[in-house]
Structures are given as structure tokens and as C-alpha cells.
Chains A and B, each alone.
Chain A
């Protein structure tokens, strides 16, 4: 399998070039992230003296300050509560609908599938004015429940899309055997089918969690009082108030991002699968 030396040398050169490029870009991605961590661990006066450098005596003071003085404890729990509740609500209703649309054909089932699918392409932020008025009429402006309902609605199209595709692939004998044993539709769904689509549930949960945790637009518009704010909205006030205290700013960035890092480490596979859903094999 030996090749002529000239061509193998060329391949080697190309290979080196490719590696330089890949590592170079990896450095561009990682350097700012590492700098954030390093700078959060050292006092602001050290950062101003030398913006790029390692902490001489690492301390977590800035995290404590961000958490207690900059209200991150409040923002964090609001974000967590709102995101988790929205994801649970959307996943639950999407699993029910996805099951019915994935397993059965009935009058209107194709229309309903298309109707849910259309939501994948709708720029729903543009509906904010009527949404604001609707929630205002319901007494749900400046109310965490209002945000949860909106968030759950935005998560439904993707979740129905993924879950119905997974339900469709399950073999039919499973449900038929259960039906012969006298099981009702809800039992078949909950006891037999739902456990079998666990990988899809994981994808759907992760994929709702990340954008909701990061969303800035809806809480900016729908939440007024600071004690209800989520992390991204809190961040805008924080960057004004602490603009001279860089160490705390960096700590705030880390606190906001940490839950996503944990999710990423736990679910890299689901994230990559979900990002490329529908392409290739």
C-alpha cells in the first residue's frame, strides 16, 4: 500500500496545515473562556494592572459578591424555576401529542402535524405586542407563570416534531400485546411507549433548556420587578452597576453559564444529535 514519496509528503504538509488551523482556532475559542475563569479568581486591581495573567492568590470572593450583593442568588433561582417548569410542561404535553400523531392516522392528523411543524419556522418574538396584551388581560404580566406558559408554547413545535418521529419507529406488537391484555391507551403510552423514547426525551429536554435559560427578550418585556428577573435580564443591570468591578463581572458571567456547562458535559451526544436532526445518517 506504499505510495510515491512526493505525494505522501504533500499529504503530510496538508495534514500539518490542517492541524495548525484546527488547533489555532481551538485556541481562539478557548482563550477567552479560560481568561474569564482566571480573571474571576483574581481581584479587579490585578486585572487592570495585567489583563492577561494567572491569579497570584486565587479567591472566590468575586463569586460571593456576585451571588449576594449583585442579586445573582435571586436571578439564578428565578431562571432555574422558570426554565425547569417550562421544559417539564412543554415536554409533557408534547409527548402526549407526539404519541398520538406518531402512532395513529386519523382525520386531521396530517393537518395537525403540519400545524405543529409550522411553529419551527415562526419568528414568534414578532408576536410580542398581542402576547403582552393577552397576558395583561390574564393578569400574567410581571408574573413568572406568564413567562412559563409562553416558554412552554415555544418549545412545543420542536418537541412534537422529534417525539412523534421517535414514537413512529416503535414496533407495533408492543402496544398490540398490551391492548390484548386489556390495557387502555394511557397505560400503553405511559407504561410501554414513553420509557422506550427516553433518548428522544433527553434530546428534547436539553434542547428546550438551553435557549430558555439564555433567553433575554421575553423576560425583558414580560417581567418588571427585579425580584422576578431571570439571569439574562439581571445581567443588564449588573453590567451597569458593577462596571468598574471586573472581577465580579467575570464571576457573574460564569454563574450564568455554569448550569449549561454541566448539561453540556452530561448530554454532549444528545446536543450534537439534536443539532443535526434530519441531516445525513
Chain B
């Protein structure tokens, strides 16, 4: 009913059928509405981000800002021990984290979404179950699984022994070879519901007539998926990839809970988020300048790669249509 009245009003006036007001209120009223959000957001989010860039060129002595030092902070990041060793290693771990998550978490998410799309009942139930861990704090998830994986009293090793696979039991988080892969799996356990929901929404947005037409032409379900659904899901795949990238390069709580502030064992789980925190708040007297420089590099990298990815995916979509 509202739609018809809106239509009629639109016809009468000739434009603004969408319901957006034509005559804006006076400036004072606009300001009263906008300013609270604008000030809060600018002062505590946007302004500090810009200041990071500015501070990265200055020397710090504790909380006090000293003189302009050009690119020295940036140089120090790559030359001062132990940062020069920790930084590339942590970066590499973030790259593994991203690749592992794409391969495991997002592939599973797509698989579950596809299976649920086809299934008639239980869809809601599975969606809710799979999404539940997303609600739990990354820190809590990390602590929960570090108890599960405890070498002495952890249920995981216990279950492996009970089903005759005791040879596989090991100190999962104490072994540098398995610690990072295990954290990637636990992170996927927490997040798999998210790509699943996005892919579900994407699949639901593909018209049934398209599927019908393909089926009449004799397409098998695999071909239907590969040649109709997958290409049409590209925009969603793009969003999932970029969000995964941003999320993984910001990983912090889960690694802290499972590997501590230094990414134990022996730095095998160290990631950029931890290095950044340690540089800023457990570093030396000039920590704030170094941390600002690191923040600038991380910002440029994360933001830049996200933009490149988005552009790439957009071009793929255009090629396909």
C-alpha cells in the first residue's frame, strides 16, 4: 500500500519518487544531525590514522615527540635486531595464514553453502550451528582450543588414542611444525559460517530460470555449478577474498591465546599484529616512532592489496559478462 502511494506522489511531483526529501532543512539543523557522529568518528578514528603517518617521521622518547627524523624509523624496522628478523617471519606467517584460510575455510564455506542450497530441510539448523563460533571472542576460541589440544589432558589426543590413532597424538601447539597450521584450522573453525552465509546469499540471488534453462539443456549438477553458479558468484568470491585478507592480516587475539604475545613456540606463530603490539607497547624508549612507521607500512600494504584485489575481481566479472 505504501508503495502505491509513494508511486502516486512521485507522479504528481515528477521526481523524487524514491522518497528522498527535496528541500533540505537549514544548515543549522543539518549540522545538529551530522556533527555528533562526524566529530566522534573524526577525532577517534580518522584523525589518529592520519597522525600515524605524520608520527612515523618523528623521533619519540617515551610519550614525548622529538624532532623530525625523515625515514629513519622505517629504516630501523628492517635493520634493528630483533625486529629485522621478526618482521619478515611474521609477514610470511600472515601470508600462510591467508592462503591456508582461503583453501580450507572458504572452500568449505562454499561447499557447505552449495550443499545447503540443494537440501530441503535442516538448512536453517545448519546455518545457525555453523555460524555459532563466529560469535565467540577470538581470544576465547583460542583458549578453548588450547585446552582441547593440551598434550596431557586435552580431549583431542585422548580421542585419537581411543580410536586407535594414538600415533598421531602430539603436542600440537608445542611443535613449531604444527602450531601455525593448527591455529589456521582453529580460526577456520570459528569463521567458516561467515563465507558460508555470504555464498548462500549469493546462490539465492542467482535466478532459478537460469538453472532451469541449463538443466533443460542437459547440464549435470557439476556443470551447472562450474559454468553457471561459480562465474555468477565471482562478486561474492571477491568480497570473501578481500575480507579474509583483511581479517587474516589483522589476526591478533586467537594467536595471542594460543601462542602468547611472542608467538610461541620459538616465534613459529608470530604474526604482524603481535609484532606491531610488541613494537608499540613492549619496545624501547623510541617505540612509538617505530610502531607508527610499522602501522603506515601495514596500512599501505593491507589497503593497497585489498584495492588491487577488488579491481582484479571487477575486471574478471566484466570479462565474463
Closest A-B pairs by Cβ, 5 of them: A280-B205, A214-B137, A130-B51, A153-B44, A127-B48
Which B-chain residue is minimally distant from A127 (CB atoms)?
Answer: B48
Interface Cβ pair total, 8 Å cutoff: 273
- CA gap between A58 and B298 in the complex, in Å: 49
Interface centre among B40, B118, B292, B299 (most CB of A within 10 A): B40
Contact of A26 among B129, B200, B276 (CB under 8 A): B129
8 Å CB contact of A275 from B44, B198, B246, B281? B198
Does B6 count as interface, using CB distance less than 8 angstroms?
yes
Residues of B within 8 A of A152 (CB): 40, 44
A103 → chain B closest CB, angstroms: 5
**Could you tell me if A250 and B147 are in contact, using CB atoms closer than 8 angstroms?**
yes
Interface majority SS on A: helix, strand, loop or mixed? helix
Given A22-B122, A32-B144, A172-B16, residue A149 in contact with residue B115 (CB < 8 A): no
> Contacting chain B: which of A59-67, A70-78, A91-99?
A91-99
Q: Interface residues, chain A, CB within 8 Å of chain B?
A: 14-15, 18-19, 21-22, 25-26, 28-30, 32-33, 35-36, 47-48, 51-52, 89-90, 92-94, 96-97, 99-106, 109, 112, 115-116, 119, 121-131, 133-134, 136, 149-150, 152-154, 156-157, 160, 168-173, 175, 185, 189, 210, 213-217, 220-221, 231-232, 235-236, 239, 246, 249-250, 253, 256-257, 260-261, 263-264, 268, 271-272, 275-276, 279-281
A-B contacts, 6 listed (Cβ < 8 Å): A51-B154, A168-B18, A279-B205, A280-B202, A280-B205, A281-B205
Size bin of chain B's contact surface: 35 or more
Report how far A97 CA is from B131 CA in the complex, Å.
31
Q: Which of these, A18, A101, A185, contacts B115 with CB under 8 Å?
A: A18
Cβ–Cβ contact A246 & B19, under 8 A = no
Identify 12 new A-B residue pairs, CB closer than 8 A, beyond the known A33-B132, A123-B250: A94-B37, A106-B30, A121-B303, A122-B45, A129-B288, A130-B51, A221-B280, A231-B137, A232-B139, A235-B143, A268-B128, A272-B131
